[in-house]
């Protein structure tokens, strides 16, 4: 599965924060998130997936930020901008 492969690629770390959640419990807790919702994009490729912590995943779903593919960042309605910290697979738009 693509999500599992990406989780391994990032060493089970959140791409947004760099954190490895659950490590002290000898477990790995990260999730694969569709950057553009699958129901809109029908894109299940790695280009539309990001590996994030469960907390970050909930924040994204609750706050509904816009994705900026040129800068690889989420832009929240309240003005906060969070840039991807770890990136080994996402391409910037136009590259």
Tens digits of residue pLDDT in 15-31: 999 999 998 999 999 99
pLDDT at residue 63 greater than cutoff 70: yes
Residue 93's pLDDT band (cuts 50, 70, 90): confident
CB–CB of 69/92 below 8 Å? yes
pLDDT at residue 50 greater than cutoff 80: yes
Q: Residues near 41 by Cβ (< 8 Å), separated by ≥ 6? A: 34, 48
CB–CB of 53/31 below 8 Å? yes
CB–CB of 1/73 below 8 Å? no
CB–CB of 17/59 below 8 Å? no
């Amino acid at each position: 599965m693509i999500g599992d492969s990406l989780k391994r690629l990032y060493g089970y770390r959140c791409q947004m924060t760099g954190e490895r959640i659950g490590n002290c419990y000898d477990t790995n807790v990260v999730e694969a998130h569709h950057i553009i919702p699958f129901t809109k994009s029908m894109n299940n490729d790695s280009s539309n997936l990001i590996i994030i912590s469960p907390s970050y995943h909930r924040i994204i779903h609750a706050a509904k930020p816009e994705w900026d593919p040129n800068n690889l960042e989420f832009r929240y309605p309240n003005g906060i901008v969070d840039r991807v910290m770890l990136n080994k697979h996402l391409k910037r738009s136009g590259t």
